Structure 1
Amino acid sequence: MAMVFITGSTDGLGRAAAQSLLDQGHRVVLHARSVDRAAALEDLASRAEGVAIGDLQSGAETKGVADQVNAIGRMDAVIHNAGVYAQRSRGSTPEGHATTFAINTLAPYMLTALIERPARLIYLSSGLHRGGERSLNDLDWAKRPWDSATAYAESKLQIVALAFALARRWPQVLSNAVDPGWARTRMGGSGAPVDIATGQKTQTWLAVSDDPAALVSGRYWHHMQQQEPACESMDPAFQDALVDRLRELTGVALPRS
């Protein structure tokens, strides 16, 4: 049985993934942004290996989450599920970053660099990532007027590019990106077309399955099928430039091999 860490697992797709993996007999490490939010995990926490607590908009707390996970042990897989969508303003994290960028891009990058390397990495993206090209000039929204939809799309393109960069840099790790679809979660709303069981299925399958179809890397998935992502996300020059900028912004280096 695998040990899997899932960010943002107090509700929505993260919680559904945790429930699914626990029901299959796997070992799961949960995550909540605060002690208060962790209370929502009470029914799952008793079955889990632990709950890492930290707000991913904070660089310091993100490092703390990585420390907590490493103290539990080496993960077989990490599902980078946590994310935010419609932010009314750029916001400002403790380090001065845009909130969407910090949670959706900087945090998974930092956790990837700081958590002991697992065998599998899964990053949740969105079909909206195709509207996020050409973001490197102002990753942190320091110059442009705030546009929440574009910021979200850019962050989801960046996370696909990060997944693909890692597939190149760490050939021994299976690194993939998943579009779970517009699911009926608190973020997606009750009118979303995708039920939560379907929304979590691909990422949990990629995290633990021995099916040969799941033992691939550098792919973009939607509902158990591979799809073509945005061209920019597949460009090694874009991937490397993005990783370099994330290192500069966080002060955290991604090991090369």
Structure 2
Amino acid sequence: MKRIMASFLVLCLLIMVGCSDSKKGSNKTIKITVSAASSMTESLNELKDMFEKEHPSITITYNFGGTGTLRKQVEQGAPVDLFFLASKKDYQLLEKGGYIQKGNPIFENQLIIIKQEGTGIDSFNSFLNTNEKVAIGTPEAVPAGTYSKQMLKSIGAWDKLVKDNRLVFAKDVHHVLNLVETGAVDIGFVYLSDTLQATNIEIMEEIDSNLHGPIKYYMAMMKEQETNQEAVETFYQYVLLDKGLEVFESYGFQTNKDEEKSEES
């Protein structure tokens, strides 16, 4: 009888341990790695807070930077589950290279010129008649810099600014904001969405969209998902929900909810 009772107790302990291990396994956190254009920093951080409250088993880790730089990281083997790009060209390069599983154009943005509060310069034309410097994202790595260069070429100002050494190249739009906010330069090219959380700056001019290529943002699910495919898909679809897109709208991005849902590839 004692042997039977001992065996029974051992069995109960094994069952309890097994249940405990099973419970621990079910509470395991799944991590998603997301690369994103730096102009999306504030909006994506808010979206992360919303998403993780609703999906506590999924944790999102961001890597922000210039889209071109982030694309090269992907091409060099960086582990990325989801990618938010501020450039159609970079999206197409990754798509052509076979890195993208599926993607969506999600919204557009507006290129603007900013200045430090209190600066006497009141227009870009008046700026051109000074010797002051302007900050733009490095065109080869930062889409905002690419669009800025297109605009400057369209109005015939690029070559003169280069010749006179008046261009300050920044690593991303947040760098441009910092240069203007601190007075390191008088004006800079950024997106409208970047100004909503900025301090000590004013919008000097909105750029005519006909002077540069269309500013489209893309969301891409990358290939080679292994253990977190379902979690990545969950976040991907969450972004496309109205409440997800409304977060981006609150930061100045221009979305078209119905069109974006119908264009999923």
Question: What is the TM-score of this pair, normalised by structure 1?
Answer: 0.32
Instruction: Between the two structures, name the one with larger relative contact order (CA 8 Å, sep ≥ 6).
Output: 2
- Structure number with greater Rg is 2
Structure with the larger strand share: 2
